[in-house]
A and B are shown apart, each in its own frame.
Chain A
Amino acid sequence: DIQMTQSPSTLSASVGDRVTITCRASQSISIWLAWYQQKPGKAPKSLIYKASSLETGVPSRFSGSGSGTEFTLTISSLQPDDFATYYCQQYTSYPWTFGQGTKVEIK
């Protein structure tokens, strides 16, 4: 199975900050990586797919980059609505696997 490791596990930031979350795969997954946002008690929401493609309707302050084994999700200017947990997911091979999550908290 491909292991996905996110860092940090928790991130404290202020509104307006630039935030970067890293996701590393245990083997190359090319660009087959997605990012999801989840708020407490809610379903995950798709943000980014194919490593850098922005989901329709997602604000442009979100961006993704990377290929192979190292990927990043960047929020260019953190907004109040962005405080949530973020998950990466690889979909290059079964079983499709998720990172453990990164919780973005208010500083």
Chain B
Amino acid sequence: EVQLLESGGGLVQPGGSLRLSCAASGFTFSNFAMSWVRQAPGKGLEWVSATGGKGDSTYYADSVKGRFTISRDNSKNTLYLQMNSLRADDTAVYYCAKDRGQLRGNFDYWGQGTLVTVSS
């Protein structure tokens, strides 16, 4: 059974940093691209970032480019999102999502999400 478990969310001040983690199980992690997708309170879904199975290809939404870094440790079956220079509009539930293949952009499994609140 595929499982994705996010952690690392919390309350952070504007300008601060946070690192999210997503522990994966139930599939061969390195064979699949992974993404982060976020959802601001009461709003829709926004794709944030993606990385290929080997971690050597990374893509970002313009809204986070230069501030967020996606990475993965295939030996630990874990996906990360390093978030720097956080702003109030980064407040959202952050989901990790498994790609159906290698950067196809279609997500067949999602984690339960972790809430990031950026506020002073």
- Do B111 and A89 touch across chains, with their CB atoms under 8 A apart? no
* Option from B107, B112, B113 in Cβ contact (under 8 Å) with A34: B107
Which A residues are in CB contact (< 8 Å) with B113?
43
A100 and B79 alpha carbons, distance in the complex (Å):
27
Q: With A94-B59, A95-B61, A95-B62 given, is the CB distance from A46 to B45 under 8 Å? A: no
Choose the segment among B9-17, B68-76, B98-106 that binds chain A (4+ C-beta atoms closer than 8 Å): B98-106
Interface residue from A32, A44, A49, A101 paired with B95 (Cβ < 8 Å)? A44
Q: Which of A21-58 contact B (CB under 8 A)?
A: 32, 34, 36, 38, 42-46, 49-50, 55
Given the complex of chains A and B, what is the CA–CA distance between A42 and B112 in angstroms? Answer: 7
Give min CB distance, B44 to chain A, whole Å: 5
Q: Which residues of A contact B104 (CB under 8 A)?
A: 91
Question: Is B29 engaged at the interface, CB distance under 8 Å to the other chain?
Answer: no
Q: How far is the CA of A22 from the CA of B67 in the complex (A)?
A: 35
Residues A95 and B107 in contact in the complex (CB < 8 Å), given A43-B95, A43-B112, A43-B113: no
A82 CA / B57 CA spacing, docked (Å) = 37
Is A49 in contact with B47, judged by CB distance below 8 angstroms? Answer: no
Number of A-B residue pairs with CB-CB distance less than 8 Å in the complex they form:
58
- Contact residues, A81-107 vs B (CB, 8 A): 87, 89, 91-92, 94-101
**Chain A residues near B62 (CB, 8 Å)?**
95
Known contacts: A43-B95, A44-B95, A95-B61. The answer to whether A100 contacts B107 by CB under 8 A is no
* Interface, chain B (partner A; CB < 8 A): 35, 37, 44-47, 50, 59, 61-62, 95, 100, 104-113
Known: A36-B107, A91-B106. 20 other contacts (CB 8 A): A43-B112, A43-B113, A44-B37, A44-B107, A44-B110, A46-B107, A46-B109, A46-B110, A49-B106, A49-B108, A87-B45, A89-B47, A89-B105, A91-B105, A96-B35, A96-B105, A98-B44, A98-B46, A98-B47, A100-B44
Which residues of A approach B to under 8 Å, CB–CB? Answer: 32, 34, 36, 38, 42-46, 49-50, 55, 87, 89, 91-92, 94-101
**Can you report 17 A-B residue pairs in the complex whose CB atoms are below 8 A from each other?**
A32-B105, A43-B110, A44-B45, A44-B95, A46-B109, A49-B100, A49-B108, A50-B106, A89-B105, A89-B106, A95-B47, A96-B35, A96-B105, A97-B47, A98-B46, A101-B44, A101-B45
